[in-house]
Every structure is written in C-alpha cells, then in structure tokens.
C-alpha cells in the first residue's frame, strides 16, 4: 500500500506466512474496520522479513468473511401439566 521499509512493524509470528496473515487482520481492523481485505476489495502485497535475516518473503494477502451465529438463552418454562 505504498509503504517503505521504515513504515514496517514488528509482528510476533511462528512463520512468515503467519506474520502476513496477522498483518492483514491488523490492517483490516485498524482502518475504520472496513475490512477491505476480508471483503475482497483489496489484495495487498505484504513483504515479511524475519528479524536478523536478509531474506524478504512476498505474499499476496486475501481473506473472507464468514457468518457467525449466536444463541442466547432467554427463558425456560415447563409446558407439561
């Protein structure tokens, strides 16, 4: 999204791919929660460099929204006589 190395941030992750996914989640939630990545309106390229390494991994990140359903217990009654 037009950023340089100086714009980078530290992301704790077990792998470069996990770091890219965590960045995408942060990016979606931190920009007015418009969820452009999960809503398939953006597929940015993310560059990940492990601390202490010169290797840079490039990822195209995407996502999807999934429906979430809740059931809240309200009241119970005995319908038998």
Domain boundaries, the chain: 5-60
Q: What confidence score (pLDDT) does residue 67 get? A: 80
- CA dist 51 and 75 (Å) reads 54
Average pLDDT of span 25-45: 88
pLDDT of 45 reads: 93
pTM of the model: 0.73
Statement: residue 50 has pLDDT above 70: yes
Phi-psi region of 24 (alpha: psi -120 to 50; beta: other; left: phi over 0): alpha
More confident residue, 8 or 16: 16
**What pLDDT does 32 receive?**
66
């Amino acid at each position: 999204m037009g950023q340089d190395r100086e714009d980078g941030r530290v992301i704790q992750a077990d792998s470069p791919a996990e770091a890219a996914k965590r960045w995408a989640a942060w990016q979606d939630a931190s920009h007015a929660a418009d969820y452009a990545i999960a809503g398939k309106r953006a597929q940015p390229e993310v560059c990940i460099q492990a601390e202490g390494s010169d290797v840079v991994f490039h990822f195209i990140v995407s996502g999807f929204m999934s429906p979430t359903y809740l059931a809240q217990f309200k009241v119970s009654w005995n319908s038998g006589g």
